């Protein structure tokens, strides 16, 4: 059960569809709440959305993309039914877990930065370096260490994240 995603964005997010599904509230109820209180949500960040075409006739479906603060605000607007209360706990936990994961990634990147700078320096000094030498060497190192190349690791993490 993934409630929170990163997918190459700067901050974790969830969607109005996820909130509707796990809080057991109809999606149009969630989107109506967001539209009615749009200014409240925009104070907490850009209120993004995606438009999905339906398979059948009808209007395309709008799904809102909410950051942690926006999602927290939205769930406070919902009635405290048993399913909503359970979802609130799970959503808060999921955002905290994602925040911890991001912190670990940033620490790891900081530790690896001097090694990567040295690698770049060596490749720049390489006479008659093959085309795409940096990406080739990086992929060889990644394959040796974790068995996957950069593209596979990015796909595994849900996109290219640049922290």
- 155 in any annotated domain: no
Tens digit of pLDDT for each residue in 105-146?
Answer: 889 889 888 888 888 888 888 888 777 888 888 888 888 888
Which pLDDT belongs to residue 137? 85
Q: How far apart are the first and last CA of the chain?
A: 24
Percent of the chain predicted with pLDDT > 70: 94
pLDDT tens per residue, range 25-40: 999 999 999 999 999 9
At residue 57's C-alpha, the angle toward residues 56 and 59, to 5°, is 115
pLDDT of residue 155: 79
pLDDT category at 5 given cuts 50, 70, 90 is: confident
User: Would residue 83 count as lying in a domain?
Assistant: yes
Residue 68 maps to a domain: yes
How many structural domains comprise the chain?
A: 1
What domain range includes position 37? 13-100
Specify the range with the lowest mean pLDDT, choosing from 6-15, 29-38, 53-62, 88-97. 53-62
């Amino acid at each position: 059960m993934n409630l929170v995603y990163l997918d190459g964005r700067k901050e974790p997010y969830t969607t109005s569809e996820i909130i509707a599904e796990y809080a057991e509230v109809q999606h149009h109820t969630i989107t109506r709440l967001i539209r009615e209180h749009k200014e409240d949500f925009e104070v907490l960040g850009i209120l993004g959305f995606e438009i999905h075409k339906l398979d059948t006739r009808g209007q395309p479906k709008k799904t809102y993309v909410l950051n942690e603060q926006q999602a927290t605000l939205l769930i406070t607007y919902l009635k405290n039914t048993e399913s909503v209360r359970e979802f609130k706990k799970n959503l808060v936990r999921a955002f905290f877990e994602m925040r911890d994961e991001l912190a670990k990634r940033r620490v790891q990147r900081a530790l690896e930065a001097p090694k990567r700078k040295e690698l770049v320096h060596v490749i720049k000094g390489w006479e008659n370096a093959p085309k795409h030498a940096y990406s080739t060497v990086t992929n060889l190192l990644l394959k040796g260490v974790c068995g996957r190349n950069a593209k596979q690791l990015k796909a595994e993490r849900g996109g290219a994240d640049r922290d």
